[in-house]
Structure 1
Amino acid sequence: MTHWTLEWLALVEYELLLFAGVFLLVGSLDELVVDFSWAWLRLTGRAKSRRIERHELCNQELMGPAALFIPAWNEASVIGFTIAHALAAWPQKGLRVYVGCYANDLPTIEAVLRGAGGDPRLRLVVRDEIGPTTKADCLNRLYAALETDERRSGTRFRLILLQDAEDMVDPAALILMDRAVDDVEFVQLPVLPEPRPGRWVGNHYCDEFAEAHGKAMVVREAIGAALPGAGVGCGFARSMLARIDATGHGTGPFPVDSLTEDYELGMTIKAAGGRSQFMRVRGEDGRLVATRAYFPARIDRAVMQKARWLHGIALQGWDRLGWSSGPGEWWMRARDRRGPLSALVLFAGYALLVVAGMLWTGRLLDLAPPPRPTVLITALLAANFVGLAWRVTMRFAFTAREYGWAEGLRGILRIPLSNIIAIMAARRAVSAYAEWLRGAVSAWEKTDHDDHPVSGALQAVRVG
């Protein structure tokens, strides 16, 4: 390396330090406010998960008919297990399971019928259109089928639930959500990815959801901000979906031109004056009542899934939902939309490590003068080091809380992997957003699934 090259690298290092250091510090302070808000809620008892006896709820009857919507495309490998488990975990006669499929997806249709095992509560809705369309379009078709059934029977449903084709429901979840819609129009249960030995890509979701659904969502509800729908483990009052459908000219309550219709629906309910609840409840065994599933174990699938989330929430959401009034709501929407900027800052941070390594090598060979950090840089580095240590501690604490201390330690080691996936997903999301601005139609970029936690499901059904 020449002297000129090293001088140029030193300048790049300084600029990267300022850019990454300042924005990483801002992000750390933002998270610190969330952390202390959550801690205050815990100390005052407002964030404590209440306890239930699962066996007391599992066989209670519903207060009114409930419909479970499951949209499906190319899900033959998992959906049979999902339906069999849901029907067994939720034996209530008032439940009806609506599964949306496409005429050109016969393997999924066959898997749905096998999974139902002749249970009359299944309602298979087959689209004539060549699939896939979009997930929201499929959900709207299920909603139209429900309306048809209501007209034929003269009975109106009370509750509509959403799950994905790969999910494992909790036996107590149905009754909890059924009771909740007495007081609110939207209820969201936590989502807990199921860990698998050696699947570092899939297991990094455990760390992120444990912290997001153990802390951030709790704070979000406490400050009165809109709760985003996760698309699974959520229930809606039938009357609220009817109101939203009416404002959309009767085409269905799910926005077909949004990549994250579940997130947007939660925001829409808040804007319409609806009440929402994030429900954290634990059973007698200490296990959280939550939707569980295996998440993508391959990096390309994880990148595709997270890119869709970023595209729909951070980029499309800015255009479609704007900024609502009120500091709490503004804060939460800013957090929702920071993903692309966060990825850029992370990229700058990793680039800084590379440049610093090159300069360190040059100094080791006496080709470059030793560094002369300013007071500002020293303070910035110290603050970021403290922030990183705190973030690592919180990541361990929340992962260990749900999965045990060993998984908590592995969660620390997975932080760089999580960051790399975020950077790759942001690049893909920005590219897709640019195409969308040029007129590209939103498509159903679904995640492929090849495994299902059915063994754990069978154990959960036998509770009590």
Structure 2
Amino acid sequence: MNVIDFVALYLFLLKYVSVVLLVMLLAFALDDVFIDGYYWLRRLWRGLTIYRKRAVFDEQQLYFCKEKPLAIMIPAWQEVGVVGKMAELAASELDYENYQIFVGTYPNDPGTQADVDAVCQRFPNIHKVICARPGPTSKADCLNNVITSILEFERRSKVKFAGFVLHDAEDVISAMELRLFNYLLPRKDLIQLPVYPFATGPLNFTSGHYLDEFSEMHGKDVVVREAMVGQVPSAGVGTCFSRRAILKLSEEGDGLPFDVQSLTEDYDIGFRLKQWGMEEIFVRFSVTNNKLAAFAERNRSRSKTDGNVVCVREYFPETFSTAVRQKSRWIIGIVFQGMKVHKWSSDWKLNYFLWRDRKGVISYFVSFLANIVFLQLTILWLYQSLAADPYNFISVFSTDPLIVTLLSCNLLFFLNRMLQRMIFVRRYYGIAQALLSVPRQLWGNIINFFANIRAIRQVLAHGDPRRVAWDKTQHQYPTVSERSLGSSLGYILRQQHIISDEQLNQALEQRTRGERIGQAMLRLKLISPQQLAAALAQQASVECRLIDPFVLEAKPIIQFPEKLAFKYAVLPLGIEDNLLVLAKESALSPVAQGAIERALQRKVRYVICQVGAVTLGLRYWYKFDLACNPQQQLSQWCDTGELSAAGAEAIRQQYFASQLMLGDALLQASNLEPAVINQVLIGFEYDSNLRLGTYLVQEKLISEQVLQQTLALQQAQQKSLQQLFNEYKARLSGAMLA
């Protein structure tokens, strides 16, 4: 056999392979065209009927719903430097306050644990969960540990979370996400938001092909799936489960809501909830205020509506190997584990989407082989175009009417496929990224092919897809800020030579239950209120400012809402550098600061003042309790010669230091821990007609007996001026006798 005969045989084999590939590509194309047609016809119908009759529903409508308590679940294995940034961003960007974050860590991951511990010091609404088993186990196993911890927190705080939100540590959360979940709960049991990857550069095709796939999948495919079947696959991030869903999952799983052997537990849960008749929704909700879409793309050619959709943003793998590893995990979980766990049902519509989920194991091979065949045909065409007196190899294909017909149909459908993808990429990312989606299609096929190969090899190696281990992807996170975490109060006071090691140990040993270390030092007269304020300010990296709460400017106080002042225990001082300055006796959490800024629609900063100044200022200015100002009585004693100026100042300091907030009194009088108190105060909407103590009893957070004990403790510590005067005179007399 000569070379020509060999080439001819090769071409005929290539021809029949091409026919098979073209037929399969046509079948896959028709499948996709059906989804395209359904989407656009549905969009047209809704535009002509529903949207014409319905008033515009914008983000302002979300504010009418009272904030329900929500729990955010974050599994974290080797996430040093990531969790803190996410918490910082959530506190500053989320237009919501009534939420707690629970981070699942592992006993053999001290780096992540230390990182989470540091974050918990600054954010009272963040809690560290340590999984029972060393990691890495699986995301599902970590989440099961997190949910157990959440339910335990509920028992301690008497607060029941309305929704359980699933996120990864690298997620960038939209400002209105929790408000949207809050609006849809409890009518919906699974709520899924779109995911839009960050664009990392025009030449980075690896991460870029993710944004192409997610744009089309979450812009069209999942929308059609929900419309046809009412079943929504969770993306693993940006998913909110209702309380009913979590309890049902726990019941059916014998206490384990998530399948610990599943690599895609989020995908699995969507089917289980659907089987139990629960409501699922994929929601695309756009905000009209650009400030509420701070991390959206800013390309002018993007859609003004779809470009501001409430979504989850994150970075995806940028290297070929990490992308293949991540996608192979998805393939194993969705295709191989899915086929074993979720059998074909009696519902043809559900089966159709099961087929679409699983066809990738075939279509990735077909697409890759088609690219190879296309490349060979391109080389042959170039040979015929450039060579002198060439052989007409292409005629083997061009003279066959079946191939010509199949090629024509597939070309038409391919152009449609590219057009559809460009439309949905353009909506969020703009025209430039839409054009780049065309060459990225080829690179995406290569990644998917090798991910398929890797997935099959892993399944064959383990013999059972459910035995494949969790293969975690490394994460990165956008830079948010560089705020430092403060040192302990005791360390700061020792460094300043204000107290000794012996005095610190004395304060720790003699501290009463629930009493803060600073309060104990004041009670034992180891430090002054001014020294405590300076140390707390240094710890929080803010300014220390000693104030007289009775001689402040009235205008900022009058303009500042009373309910905010009492809820967050802050006192407005005035405007400086276009910022509203607030005084507080201790650190103001970033979550609370963000809530104040959103309520006022302006930026604020806070300073730390001496103990008692804000407590007395609130009573004086908002409750018109003029008697709480000690100055008149102290001046009278000085005028009559009963008290020196130094003595008056000493009594004044003691009077300030003896003030005790109800929250601090609760810590000392009850078994409530600081995290529980924080959750209680978040849920409390201050009303001048409803006192906090009454609210706590009504909500059965504490008993009437505990409330009376708390009030008695508060009354006992907040000594009157006459008591302090008598104690001062007694001490003075004792010193003279000695």
The answer, yes or no, to whether TM exceeds 0.5 is yes
1:302 alignment counterpart: 323
* Counterparts of 1:78 and 1:6, CA distance in 2: 57
* Counterparts of 1:59 and 1:140, CA distance in 2: 33
1:422 alignment counterpart: 448
Cα drift, residue 417 of structure 1: 1.0
2:615 alignment counterpart: none
Q: Is the contact made by 1:87 and 1:116 (CA closer than 8 Å) also made in structure 2?
A: no
**Structure 2 runs not aligned, ≥5 long:** 291-304, 482-589, 602-738
Q: Secondary structure at the match of 2:168?
A: coil
Cα drift, residue 189 of structure 1: 0.7
Greater shift in the superposed pair: 240-249 or 27-36: 240-249
* Counterparts of 2:13 and 2:379, CA distance in 1: 12
- What letter is aligned with 2:136? P
Distance 1:56 1:270, change over 3 A: closer
2:406 alignment counterpart: 380
Cα drift, residue 242 of structure 1: 0.9
2:373 alignment counterpart: 352
* Counterparts of 2:161 and 2:85, CA distance in 1: 26
2:459 alignment counterpart: 433
Q: Secondary structure at the match of 1:98?
A: strand
Of the three residues 150, 175, 178, the one matched with 2:179 is: 175
Of the three residues 121, 131, 134, the one matched with 1:130 is: 134
Q: Is the contact made by 2:188 and 2:281 (CA closer than 8 Å) also made in structure 1?
A: yes
| TM-score normalised to structure 2 length | 0.59
Cα drift, residue 415 of structure 1: 1.0
Distance 1:328 1:369, change over 3 A: closer
Count of aligned pairs: 458
Of the three residues 183, 189, 195, the one matched with 1:185 is: 189
2:244 alignment counterpart: 239
1:105-124 mapped onto 2 (5 Å cutoff): 105-116=109-120, 118-124=122-128
Of the three residues 442, 452, 455, the one matched with 2:468 is: 442
Of the three residues 426, 439, 446, the one matched with 1:413 is: 439
Q: Is the contact made by 2:337 and 2:466 (CA closer than 8 Å) also made in structure 1?
A: no
* Counterparts of 1:34 and 1:24, CA distance in 2: 16
Distance 1:290 1:239, change over 3 A: same
| 1:372-393 Cα distance to aligned partner (Å, 9 max, x none) | 4321111000001101111111
2:153 alignment counterpart: 149
Q: Is the contact made by 2:119 and 2:126 (CA closer than 8 Å) also made in structure 1?
A: no
1:342 alignment counterpart: 363
2:273 alignment counterpart: 269
Rg bigger for which structure?
Answer: 2
* Counterparts of 1:310 and 1:370, CA distance in 2: 37
Cα drift, residue 36 of structure 1: 0.9
* Counterparts of 1:217 and 1:294, CA distance in 2: 21
* Counterparts of 2:176 and 2:64, CA distance in 1: 9
* Counterparts of 1:446 and 1:439, CA distance in 2: 16
Are 2:167 and 1:163 equivalent residues in the alignment?
A: yes
* Counterparts of 2:393 and 2:441, CA distance in 1: 33
2:22 alignment counterpart: 21
* Counterparts of 1:126 and 1:70, CA distance in 2: 12
* Counterparts of 1:259 and 1:195, CA distance in 2: 26
* Counterparts of 2:312 and 2:227, CA distance in 1: 22
1:201 alignment counterpart: 206
* Counterparts of 2:362 and 2:281, CA distance in 1: 29
Q: Is the contact made by 2:315 and 2:476 (CA closer than 8 Å) also made in structure 1?
A: no
* Counterparts of 2:238 and 2:473, CA distance in 1: 18
Q: Is the contact made by 2:261 and 2:466 (CA closer than 8 Å) also made in structure 1?
A: no
* Counterparts of 1:165 and 1:50, CA distance in 2: 37
Aligned CA RMSD, in angstroms, stands at 2.5
Q: Indicate the structure whose relative CO is greater, using CA pairs within 8 Å and at least 6 residues apart.
A: 1
| TM-score normalised to structure 1 length | 0.92
Cα drift, residue 313 of structure 1: 0.4
Q: Is the contact made by 2:258 and 2:265 (CA closer than 8 Å) also made in structure 1?
A: yes
* Counterparts of 1:166 and 1:200, CA distance in 2: 21
Cα drift, residue 452 of structure 1: 2.5
Cα drift, residue 410 of structure 1: 1.2
Q: Is the contact made by 1:225 and 1:328 (CA closer than 8 Å) also made in structure 2?
A: no
Q: Is the contact made by 1:225 and 1:332 (CA closer than 8 Å) also made in structure 2?
A: no
- What letter is aligned with 2:36? D
Greater shift in the superposed pair: 49-58 or 130-139: 49-58
Cα drift, residue 320 of structure 1: 0.8
1:37 alignment counterpart: 38
1:245-284 mapped onto 2 (5 Å cutoff): 245-250=250-255, 252-284=256-288
